[in-house]
Amino acid sequence: MIQATSMEGKLTLVPTPIGNLEDITLRAIRVLSESDYILAEDTRTAGQLLRHLNIDKKLFAHHQHNEHHALAEIIKFLKEGKQIALVSDAGTPAISDPGFLLVRECIKENLKVETLPGATAFVPALVNSGLPCDRFCFEGFLPVKKGRQTKFKELATLNCTFIIYESPHRLMKTLADFKTYFGEDRIISVSRELTKIYEETTRGTVLEVIEYYTTHIAKGEFVICIAGK
């Protein structure tokens, strides 16, 4: 296996808090402070975090709409020996966020890549669900239209816990699809606003959770854990 040389720069993927700012690690703070450039999914969101940490660094936008076009310039900077950090709006980059394409290109170019451990939404939601977590499948966001039915039919056959992300305005539609494809008695755990003041986890059958959110407003980002078949 070919190893990147120490003379080259390094790309570091830095997880950022998903809500509670106390979840930033000391190592993440150091890496951000020492980086030459910081790539951010949203420079405004990243800027707020950096100001909170008293870090003054140049931010560059790196999101799903420009990541293909930005690759060449980022690779050029890394080959010049620059230390570059990548952050998403919240959580670990490349987990339902930009990052995969850049990591793949760095590996292709034999440039060093390092990923720090840290915040991500699905791990605490899974562990807190009470569902088996020795083996699980992470699906992220499901298709909104094309391929949605096919995906639900595939998920219905899984015999391990699986996890999806969902937005508040699509929650009820997704719960209705659960009832159609998994049955109303399938056990699920729905977590929202993880690590924040109004963090909440609702556990029960699909039907019970539907009834709960029929009378409660769906706010925040959702992580849903579903029991296997």
pLDDT in tens, 136-183: 999 999 999 999 999 999 999 999 999 999 999 999 999 999 999 999
3 has pLDDT over 80? no
Q: Which long-range contacts (CB under 8 A, 24 or more apart) does 31-35 make?
A: 31/85, 31/116, 32/57, 32/85, 32/87, 33/57, 34/83, 35/83, 35/84, 35/85
Read off the pLDDT of each residue in 214-229 and give the average, rounded to a whole number. Answer: 96
Read off the pLDDT of each residue in 44-55 and give the average, rounded to a whole number. Answer: 96
Question: What pLDDT is recorded for position 46?
Answer: 96
In this prediction, residue 47 has a pLDDT band, given cuts at 50, 70 and 90, of very high
| HEC profile of the chain | CCCCCCCCCEEEECCECCCCHHHCCHHHHHHHHHCCEEEECCHHHHHHHHHHCCCCCCEEECCCCCHHHHHHHHHHHHHCCCEEEEECCCECCCCCCCCHHHHHHHHHCCCEEEECCCCCCHHHHHHHHCCCCCCEEEEEECCCCCCHHHHHHHHCCCCCEEEEEECHHHHHHHHHHHHHHHCCCCEEEEEECCCCCCCEEEEEEHHHHHHHHHHCCCCCCEEEEECCC
6 has pLDDT over 80? no
Question: What pLDDT is recorded for position 150?
Answer: 96
In this prediction, residue 2 has a pLDDT band, given cuts at 50, 70 and 90, of very low
- Cα–Cα dist 21/195, whole Å: 9
Question: What pLDDT is recorded for position 70?
Answer: 87
Domains delineated in the chain: 10-115 (3.40.1010.10), 122-226 (3.30.950.10)
4 has pLDDT over 70? no
Identity at 119, one-letter amino acid code: A
119-131 per-position pLDDT tens digit: 999 999 999 999 9
77 has pLDDT over 60? yes
**Mean pLDDT, rounded, of the chain:** 94
Question: What pLDDT is recorded for position 97?
Answer: 87
166-175 per-position pLDDT tens digit: 999 999 999 9
Cβ atoms 229, 159 nearer than 8 A: yes
- Cα–Cα dist 160/98, whole Å: 27
Identity at 86, one-letter amino acid code: L
5 has pLDDT over 50? no
7 has pLDDT over 90? no
Cβ atoms 78, 31 nearer than 8 A: no
- Cα–Cα dist 156/54, whole Å: 48
